[in-house]
Amino acid sequence: MKAAYYIGNKEFSLREVDPVTPGSGEVRVKIAYCGICGTDLHVYLGHMDARVGNNRVIGHEMSGTIESIGEGVENLEIGDPVVIRPLAPCGKCPACERGHSHICQNLKFLGLDSDGAFQENWTIPAYTVHKLPVGISLQHAALIEPLAVACHDVTRSRLQPGEDVLVIGGGPIGMLVAMVARKQGGNVVISEVSEHRLATAEKMGFSTLNPLKVNVAEEIYKATGNKGADVVFEVSGSQPGVDTMTEACATRARIVMVAIHATKPQVDLFKFFWREIEMLGVRVYEPQDFEKAIEMIAAGAIDCETMITDIQELPDIQNAFAALSGNPQAMKSLIRCS
Ligand SMILES: [Zn+2]
Ligand SMILES: [Zn+2]
């Protein structure tokens, strides 16, 4: 079978390797599609070599079918359509013991700390598997992992129907957060600097603001009767985004930090005291976030056709990464793995 190894310096090496026989408690999945995550792009650009090394199959936003089942695995059959929740918690640390194994203190991420899904077959622990409803599009199902991120973010925000929501940053995750928040009854506005992404957001029916053209906080106050946004998602990873997140807030607003900032941003703590704002950290997802994401994709609640902007074959993975890097017209690129 074919597997694409990241070998450093924006390069992949396509190799012919033997599929791994699943051991006890493991299954082998035939990968249908695997999306390129922002994290994968960071790997490709060489930002994560210290963690990932120069000989690693990356990729985790996958869909596929069960192909082989190891000993002691129950409730799965060959041919089942599935996605993988790519987390391997230690099960022993204080975070795991308190039921927060998704943010285990020794968490291993499949597709970064061990080999991932940009290959024809992937052997993984059976506990990571979520079964999909029969008949679901495996192409759309490749969006379940990033959608689970969005579901987790919105759950953490405690969004109530009718609340005003500002999403700062309209990339793939920002867009999915906006879709989940709207589905949950939020009045969503997306702030984004790329005209192309603004057009995509508008096509999906969202109100938008371009911070290069208007003062986002002022516009939010105007639109909410001088109240401000009840929930703000910071998905831009930029200092101007962090400035806007506190400026556009209502009293007792919740700010959800979704973006991973490359440097420590300056946060206006004065606003936190003055308006009794809460800030919430969010990281990956819990099993129930995956189940919710699966339900939404199966019900057609997500505009997958607009989200998926490119599909390439596994041998063309190099081109797919090059085309995605720094391209604001791209949303989600998928690799067809088998
Ligand atoms: Zn991802
Ligand atoms: Zn742990």
For ligand 1, the distance from its centroid to the CA atom of residue 119, given in whole angstroms, is 16
Residue 262's pLDDT is 86
Mean pLDDT over residues 221-245, rounded? 98
pTM: 0.97
Which residue ranges does the chain devote to CATH 3.90.180.10? 2-143+302-336
pLDDT band at 328 (very low <50, low <70, confident <90, very high): confident
Residue 33's pLDDT is 98
The architecture that CATH gives domain 149-281 is 3-Layer(aba) Sandwich (3.40)
**pLDDT digits 0-9 by tens, 74-106:** 999 999 999 999 999 999 999 999 999 999 999
Q: φ and ψ at 218, to 5 degrees? A: -60, -45
- Ligand number nearest to the C-alpha of 92: 2
Q: Is residue 247 helix, strand or coil? A: helix
Domain 2-143+302-336 has CATH 2.40.10.120: no
Instruction: Report DSSP letters for 130-192, one per residue.
Output: EE--TT--HHHHTTHHHHHHHHHHHHHHT--TT-EEEEE--SHHHHHHHHHHHHTT-EEEEE-
Residue 83 pairs with which residues in a beta bridge?
A: 130
Which residue ranges does the chain devote to CATH 3.40.50.720? 149-281
Of 99, 121, 100, 114, the closest CA to residue 34 belongs to: 121
- Ligand number nearest to the C-alpha of 58: 1
Catalytic annotation on 251? Answer: no
- Ligand number nearest to the C-alpha of 116: 1
For ligand 2, the distance from its centroid to the CA atom of residue 84, given in whole angstroms, is 19
For ligand 1, the distance from its centroid to the CA atom of residue 219, given in whole angstroms, is 32
Distance CA 279, CA 296 (A): 27
Residue 302's alpha-carbon distances to 102, 213, 239, 291, 294, in angstroms, are 25, 29, 30, 15, 11
Catalytic annotation on 39? Answer: yes
Q: Which one of 21, 39, 128, 244 is the catalytic residue? A: 39
For ligand 2, the distance from its centroid to the CA atom of residue 282, given in whole angstroms, is 17
Burial of 50 per CB tally in 10 Å (0-12, 13-18, 19+): exposed
Q: Which one of 42, 100, 196, 261 is the catalytic residue? A: 42
For ligand 2, the distance from its centroid to the CA atom of residue 94, given in whole angstroms, is 7
Residue 313, pLDDT > 90, answer yes
For ligand 1, the distance from its centroid to the CA atom of residue 39, given in whole angstroms, is 6
